[in-house]
Amino acid sequence: MLLPALGAAEEARPGAALGLGAAINKAGRQRMLSQRMAKALAMQVLAVMPDKAGSLLEQSRRLFETQLRELATLQPNEAIRSNLGELDRQWALYRELLGRPRTADNLLLVLAESEKTLRLAHALTGLYEKQASGNAGHLVNLAGRQRMLSQRMAKCFMFEQSGVGSPALKAELEAARRDFVAALGELNAAPENTPEIRIELGLANTQWLFFDQALNGQESNRTIAQRNVATTSERILEVMDGLTGRYEQLMRG
């Protein structure tokens, strides 16, 4: 499933200043996109829905660049200004690699640059969260990180399937799985949850069961197993993106 409306719920009106909640959301979404683009590249190599993977990669690339421009409009301190500059330079390197031929050497470089991009985007999200008062900013960051973890798990799975990647991929997938389950528990228990948020959390819990089952690789047909991970990772991403938007609304409210 492709998500043409990904992030549409909290887009700022034309000419409107970017709010702090939206900044935490968008910076957090950059983390996810760093992993999603690498996942899409591996899908192309594996011929897992290659046309859709190409569309997903291009959509993610455009959204990353759009959000970089939007985040540049909210630079309340030097640490955020510095991080945005680093992220912009890192993105230029990553974007160039994403356009190279899908060789084994280039895929290894993409894997490395996806990690560097992720680290900078994660640091930026934390810097924005520090500007927020109360717990709502933390919840936006936490829910938003679930989007990244969904794509990170799928990325590790796809790279491992392709035979291109580091020996640590399986360990990284399991670490991301543990982090996702722990954060889902924290979100379910958050006292700030509204009835609408609890409904979306119910969807997230259900989609996690499907995604976790796909990641476990119980499907004997390799092609079907890869496709299952590709589709379920997008479904849970969609739910977690909507949930992150709900927590952002708490900050605006």
pLDDT by 10s per residue, the chain, length 253: 344 456 544 444 445 678 999 999 999 999 999 999 999 999 999 999 999 999 999 999 999 999 999 999 999 999 999 999 999 999 999 999 999 998 889 999 999 999 999 999 999 999 999 999 889 999 999 999 999 999 999 999 999 999 886 778 999 999 999 999 999 999 999 999 999 999 999 999 999 999 999 999 777 899 999 999 999 999 999 999 999 999 999 988 6
Contact in structure between 135 and 192 (CB atoms under 8 Å): yes
Q: How confident is the model at residue 2, as a pLDDT?
A: 42
State the Cα–Cα distance between residues 118 and 108, nearest whole angstrom. Answer: 16
The amino acid at 179: D
Domain-wise residue ranges, the chain: 18-252
Which pTM value belongs to this model? 0.94
Would you list the DSSP string of the chain? ---TTTTGGGPPPTTPPPPHHHHHHHHHHHHHHHHHHHHHHHHHHHTSSHHHHHHHHHHHHHHHHHHHHHHTT---SHHHHHHHHHHHHHHHHHHHHHTS---HHHHHHHHHHHHHHHHHHHHHHHHHHHT--SSHHHHHHHHHHHHHHHHHHHHHHHHHHHT-S-TTHHHHHHHHHHHHHHHHHHHHH-TT--HHHHHHHHHHHHHHHHHHHHHTT--SSHHHHHHHHHHHHHHHHHHHHHHHHHHHHHHH-
Contact 67, 25 (CB under 8 A): no
**pLDDT at res. 4:** 44
| Other CB atoms within 10 A of residue 38 CB | 32
